[in-house]
Amino acid sequence: MTVALEVAGLVKQYRQTRALDGIDLQVNQGEFFGLLGPNGAGKTTLINILAGLVRPSQGTARVMGFDVARDYAQSRRALGVVPQELVYDPFFTAREVLRVQSGYFGIRRNDDWIEHVLHNLGLTPHADKNMRTLSGGMKRRVLVAQALVHKPPVIVLDEPTAGVDVDLRQTLWQFIQGLNREGHTVVLTTHYLEEAETLCQRIAMLKQGRLVALDSTRNLLSRRHEHQAQFRLDGEPPGSLGLKQGQGNCWLFGFQEYDELETPLAALRRAGIKVLEMQLLEPDLEDVFTEIIQNA
């Protein structure tokens, strides 16, 4: 399988801070890949190195086989980055911005594709409005459109849904998933872990500039074998049961196999405590993320 993104031994040192501390990573062509980590983990630095905005202190980075420093023109043509910050040029309309951005990439007549992107991102009615007058959500859509004007094989979205409404999220993911089905590689950073869980086939987790996990989403989720049962009781359970107190009047019990549930239920019966409500909780990416980041 062709490699879309490849970084090897990547280090970025800012005076006192080591933003990236030896990252090795490959993203295959056609993948929907998640890059997760707490704030300051180095996600944006990694993306900025791929985009040529930041120069690495050590190591190499390639986009579709092109070195980001040596073959910068080819690597930048292969990459579309949606930046995290809501940036825009206040002098121009959305359509002007997209035409100009196409020109930067050497594409002269790109109106058909621009119209397609505008339509799919719900921007057509706003295309001739000055960027200053657009709402935050609309500006975010234009940022996405700008990253796509040159039809890059690799699309990087740096927290594209931070602070945006449900409508944009749905429109955006529908469009991006469509592009992914057509063969575009998508790399996503987000703090909404349910988005990563639903969309990404593989996930990398960063902490303090180091790669602390890299696996398929399914394997990451199955790392936590433990299920949990949440009980709402009419009294306090015996301490010997080892139930952990949850929110409100709820108590949590961790188990591997379902037949283990009989133990607390029998003990509660013996103690004369009634189970008012019971709920089974399955592990999600947030649990896995928290566990990995805490233990790393």
Partner 1 sequence: MTGFSTLLYKELLRFWKVAFQTILAPIVTAMLYLLIFSHVLEERVQVYPGISYTTFLVPGLIMMSMLQNAFANSSSSLIQSKITGNIVFVLVAPLSYFEFFSAYLLAAVIRGVVVGVGVGLVTVWFTDLPLMHPFWLLALTILSTGILAALGIIAGMWAEKFDQLAAFQNFLIMPLTFLSGVFYSIHSLPPFWQATSHWNPVFYMIDGFRWGFFGHSDVVPGLSLLVVGACFVAISGFTLLLLKRGYKLRH
Closer CB to partner 1, 106 or 125, in the complex: 106
CA distances to 20, 74, 81, 212, 292 from 207, rounded to whole Å, are 9, 30, 22, 6, 9
Q: Which of residues 143-182 bind partner 1 (CB under 8 A)?
A: 146
User: Which of 51, 82, 45 has its CA nearest to residue 179?
Assistant: 82
Q: In this chain, which stretch among 22-30, 84-92, 257-265, 281-289 interacts with partner 1, using CB under 8 A?
A: 84-92
Q: In this chain, which stretch among 35-43, 44-52, 214-222, 242-250 interacts with partner 1, using CB under 8 A?
A: 44-52
Q: Can you read off the two tokens belonging to residue 158?
A: 């740096």
Choose which of 90, 125, 163, 239 interacts with partner 1 (CB under 8 A): 90
Decide: is 81 part of the binding site for partner 1 (CB under 8 A): yes
Element (H, E) at 98: helix 94-104
Closer CB to partner 1, 88 or 289, in the complex: 88
Return the C-alpha torsion angle 57, 53, 188, 201, nearest 10. Answer: -50
Decide: is 76 part of the binding site for partner 1 (CB under 8 A): yes
Decide: is 21 part of the binding site for partner 1 (CB under 8 A): no
- Total chain residues near partner 1 (CB under 8 A): 34
Interface mask (CB under 8 A) for partner 1, residues 47-66, using x and -?
Answer: -x--xxxxx-----------
Q: In this chain, which stretch among 21-29, 101-109, 158-166, 280-288 interacts with partner 1, using CB under 8 A?
A: 101-109
CA distances to 191, 223, 261 from 280, rounded to whole Å, are 25, 18, 11
Beta bridge partners, 215, equal 203
Spatial distance between the Cα atoms of 288 and 296, rounded to a whole number of angstroms: 12
Decide: is 239 part of the binding site for partner 1 (CB under 8 A): no
Q: In what order do the strands lie in the sheet with 3-14?
A: 17-28, 3-14, 58-63, 66-67
Query: From the CB of 96, what's the least distance to partner 1, in Å?
Result: 8
By the criterion CB under 8 A, which residues form the site for partner 1?
A: 14, 48, 51-55, 72-74, 76-77, 79, 81, 83, 85, 87-92, 96-97, 100-108, 146
